Amino acid sequence: MCIPIIPDETELFERLWNYRRSVQYIEREYLDLRVRLRDAEADLRSDSQNRELKSRVDYLKSRLKDLESRHPWISTGRPSEIPFWVNSVG
């Protein structure tokens, strides 16, 4: 049976820091796409016949969907760091 242990504070913070640095670019890209999609949809509401805006909205939605499928934690609303607080020794 595996006994869960909590790593010491410095190890935990180091692991979290390294993880955050490794996924920060994904979070930035996701936020940027969401902001651009919001703006494009607002522009499309004022000019619903604009084909360029429609294609831009479709493209941004597909990019967001792709990111969410490759990194499902990004859209769940739960912190992705949760698994770092428990280690198993067995």
- Condensed to tens digits (0 to 9), the pLDDT of residues 59-80 reads 999 999 999 999 888 887 666 6
pLDDT the model gives residue 12:
75
What dihedral angle (degrees, nearest 10) is formed by the CA atoms of 81, 61, 33, 31? -30
Confidence band for 83, pLDDT divided at 50, 70 and 90: low
Confidence band for 82, pLDDT divided at 50, 70 and 90: low
pLDDT the model gives residue 21:
86
Q: Tens digit of pLDDT for each residue in 43-55?
A: 999 999 999 999 9
- For residue 42, count other CB atoms closer than 10 A to its CB: 10
Residue 73 phi/psi, 5-degree rounding, is: -65, -20
Residue (of 80, 90, 89, 86) closest to 11 by Cα position: 86
